[in-house]
Amino acid sequence: MSIRSRSIQALLAMLMVTAASPSYALQFPETRDRGAPARGPSLATRGEICLDPENRPSLTSLLPHNAIATAFGADTDIPLALWFYIPETGAAEAELTIVDELGEDVYQQVVQLPDTPGTIQIELPRHQADGATPTFSSGTLYYWDFALICDPSDRGDDVLLGGGIQRLDASPELLTQLDTVANDPLAQAELYAAAGAWQETIALAASVRPQNPTAWAELLTSVDLASVAEKPIVGQPSSAVAPISSDETPAAMPNGGSLERLLEGINRSAE
By three-state DSSP, how is residue 256 classified? helix
More confident residue, 241 or 221: 221
Question: Nearest 5°: phi and psi at 49?
Answer: -65, -20
User: What's the pLDDT score for residue 13?
Assistant: 41
CATH architecture of 23-247: Sandwich (2.60)
- The closest alpha carbon to 71, from 166, 160, 150, 141, belongs to 166
pLDDT tens-place string over residues 48-95: 678 887 888 999 999 999 899 999 977 778 888 999 999 999 999 999
Q: What is the DSSP letter of 14?
A: H
Domain boundaries, the chain: 1-22+248-271, 23-247
Q: Quote the pLDDT of residue 249.
A: 36
CA distance 17 to 26: 21
Query: pLDDT tens for residues 89-136?
Result: 999 999 999 999 999 999 999 999 999 999 999 999 988 888 888 889
Residue 46 pLDDT: 52
Arithmetic mean of pLDDT, 4-20: 39
One-letter identity of residue 173: E
From 92-101, 153-162, 164-173, 230-239, the region with the lowest mean pLDDT: 230-239
Can you tell me the mean pLDDT for 142-156?
Answer: 93
**pLDDT tens digits along 178-227:** 999 999 999 999 999 999 999 999 999 999 999 999 999 999 999 999 99
Alpha-carbon span 259 to 253, nearest angstrom: 7
Distance, in Å, from the CA atom of 232 to the CA atom of 87, rounded to the nearest integer, reads 11
pLDDT of residue 48: 64
Return all residues near 237 (Cβ < 8 A) that are at least 6 apart.
Answer: 210
Give yes or no for residue 254 having a pLDDT over 70: no
Nearest-5° Cα angle at 101, 97 to 103: 50
Per DSSP, the three-state class of 81 is strand
Higher pLDDT, 260 or 155: 155
User: Reduced to 3 states, what is the DSSP secondary structure of residue 129?
Assistant: coil
Choose among 161, 165, 163, 201: nearest CA to 185. 201
Residue 177 has pLDDT above 90, yes or no: yes
Tell which wins on pLDDT, 39 or 13. 39
Spatial neighbors of 228 by CB under 8 A, at least 6 apart, are: 57, 60, 62, 85, 119, 220
